[in-house]
Amino acid sequence: MKNLSNKTALVTGASRGIGAAIAKRLAREGANVAITYNSSPDRAEAVVKEIEAAGGKAIAIKADSSDPNAVKAAVDKTAETFGGLHVLVNNAGIAMLKSVEDFTLEDFDLHTSVNIRAVFAGSQAAIKHLPRGGRIITIGSCMAERVAGPGGSVYAMSKSALIGLTKGMARDLGPKGITVNLVHPGPTDTDMNPADGVGADWQRSMNALGSFGSVEDVAAMVAFLAGPESGNITGAGMLVDSGNNV
């Protein structure tokens, strides 16, 4: 019996990067997996095919996280398709790094809608489906607590907001036996932050291990939080960041 046999997970923004790795890892743990995507239908379908080829069950749902109704509909569609929902992973996120002087209000609003409001809307929609033992796991960032260089003000703010939201939801949902946690990746090799990109060596120089993380590192932490051994952990923020914040 695998850790997540007979369980269903929804991972937002899982056509690529960290979300795709989480979806594949949760499927390997035995979960039926739904993923959302916005602009990469082919890559989302490839994730589904890979899970199915390994013997798992998966679906891809188009849901722009800047639209709270689309996120809510994705939650309900997941529960309807697989007959329930046990794990919600709020992963979809955007990061525009530029000086506060250059940030437009439109870009500010996009960050708050995708990185914060979608987490609220998806989590709220999930509550009616989640049983005791249900899990809400959100992907934050090491930048929630440490902004090591210029250009990160709005992105960092959006991730800091998730700390309060997570702690508050943990209090609200504790009596229902639902845990709510954050995972804070450090520099992780994806399209958003390539390990060979401009600034990658600078990021390595900022952390204790001098390394860049992999998407599998983050997926492993999510798998632990989604699994049966994490039931006494809620309202927590878990750093998977090469020691960026030490």
Which residue's CB is nearer to ligand NAP, number 133 or number 220?
220
Question: Please, what is the minimum distance in Å from the beta carbon of residue 131 to ligand NAP?
Answer: 26
Which residue's CB is nearer to ligand NAP, number 13 or number 227?
13
HSE, side-chain direction, 13 A CA sphere, residue 212: 15
Residues that bind ligand NAP (CB under 6 A): 13-19, 36-40, 64-66, 91-95, 114, 139, 141, 185, 187-188, 190-193
Q: Which of 155, 159, 237, 239 is catalytic?
A: 155
Question: Please, what is the minimum distance in Å from the beta carbon of residue 139 to ligand NAP?
Answer: 4
Has 37 been annotated as catalytic?
A: no
CA–CA separation, 141 and 209 (whole Å): 17
Question: Please, what is the minimum distance in Å from the beta carbon of residue 137 to ligand NAP?
Answer: 12
Task: Give yes or no for a contact between 65 and 38, defined as CB atoms under 8 angstroms apart.
Answer: yes
Which residue's CB is nearer to ligand NAP, number 22 or number 79?
22
Task: Give yes or no for a contact between 32 and 9, defined as CB atoms under 8 angstroms apart.
Answer: yes
CA–CA separation, 139 and 22 (whole Å): 11
Token duo for residue 135: 């899990």
**Residue 191: is it exposed, middle or buried by C-beta count within 10 angstroms (0-12/13-18/19+)?**
exposed
Which residues are known catalytic residues? 155
